[in-house]
Chain A
Amino acid sequence: GDSVTQMEGPVTLSEEAFLTINCTYTATGYPSLFWYVQYPGEGLQLLLKATKADDKGSNKGFEATYRKETTSFHLEKGSVQVSDSAVYFCALSDRGYQKVTFGTGTKLQVIP
């Protein structure tokens, strides 16, 4: 079945540091890939998405590129802020379903 593996956290960075959160996936077809973010005490919200190979999703300074050859969708940001502290979930949706498979989440803490 489909699965998503992302790096375990927590990840602690100083403000303005470079961020990478690794994500790899297993899927039988050609999935769409997502990053969701969960701020403390809130539900998840879509951060960015990519629907086909080599697509780059971007939003709020975050980027991720759909790499079919390595089955990866790593999240990056050039300069993190304290307000980026949250839990980040990599996810995929495959086979035309509306269902989404989520990774276990990576907690990011940014310190001033």
Chain B
Amino acid sequence: DAGITQSPRYKITETGRQVTLMCHQTWSHSYMFWYRQDLGHGLRLIYYSAAADITDKGEVPDGYVVSRSKTENFPLTLESATRSQTSVYFCASSEDNSYEQYFGPGTRLTVT
């Protein structure tokens, strides 16, 4: 299906484990973003990417790693998960010259 998809939709992991959240978009949008959503904080930008092989830090990048080898994929890795990383994670994309962002359905991550 066309659009932006995230997997898994739900994930429970233990402290210290590595976990990767996947994001795939079919529009060939240049820009992709990762946000986390927490009560009282709204959405906070973790990392973003302007194109394949170009990534940059957002507001809260510590503890996360991203890569973008292909335009359509933008995985987010928690190298050693902590309880403070329990959150809902949203991936988004946008075209060049447009501020409208298109969001995926989110991944609810629980770190125990």
Instruction: List residues of chain A with CB under 8 Å of any chain B CB.
Output: 32, 34, 41-46, 49, 89, 93, 98-100, 102-105
Closest Cβ of chain B to A9, distance in Å, is: 11
- CB neighbours (8 Å) of B104 from chain A are 43
A100 CA to B106 CA, complexed, in Å:
18
Once the chains bind, are A43 and B42 in contact (CB under 8 Å)? no
Verify if B74 is at the interface (C-beta below 8 Å from A). Answer: no
A100 CA to B99 CA, complexed, in Å:
7
Known: A49-B99, A49-B100, A93-B99. A44 touches B42 (CB 8 A): no
A56 CA to B70 CA, complexed, in Å:
38
Categorize the interface residue count of chain B. Answer: 20 to 34
Verify if B105 is at the interface (C-beta below 8 Å from A). Answer: yes
Once the chains bind, are B94 and A43 in contact (CB under 8 Å)? no
- CB neighbours (8 Å) of B41 from chain A are 104
Interface stretch, picked from B13-21, B43-51, B61-69, is B43-51
Once the chains bind, are B58 and A98 in contact (CB under 8 Å)? no
At the interface, is chain B mostly helix, strand, loop or mixed?
strand
- CB neighbours (8 Å) of A43 from chain B are 4, 90, 92, 103-106
- CB neighbours (8 Å) of A89 from chain B are 42-43
- CB neighbours (8 Å) of B26 from chain A are none
Q: What are 5 sample pairs from A and B whose C-beta atoms fall under 8 A apart?
A: A89-B43, A98-B48, A99-B48, A100-B99, A105-B42
Known: A43-B90, A43-B106, A44-B90. A100 touches B101 (CB 8 A): yes
A44's nearest neighbour on chain B, judged by CB, is: B103
A105 CA to B42 CA, complexed, in Å:
6
Closest Cβ of chain A to B51, distance in Å, is: 11
Once the chains bind, are B31 and A98 in contact (CB under 8 Å)? yes
A109 CA to B92 CA, complexed, in Å:
26
Known: A32-B99, A44-B90. A99 touches B45 (CB 8 A): yes
- CB neighbours (8 Å) of A102 from chain B are 42-43
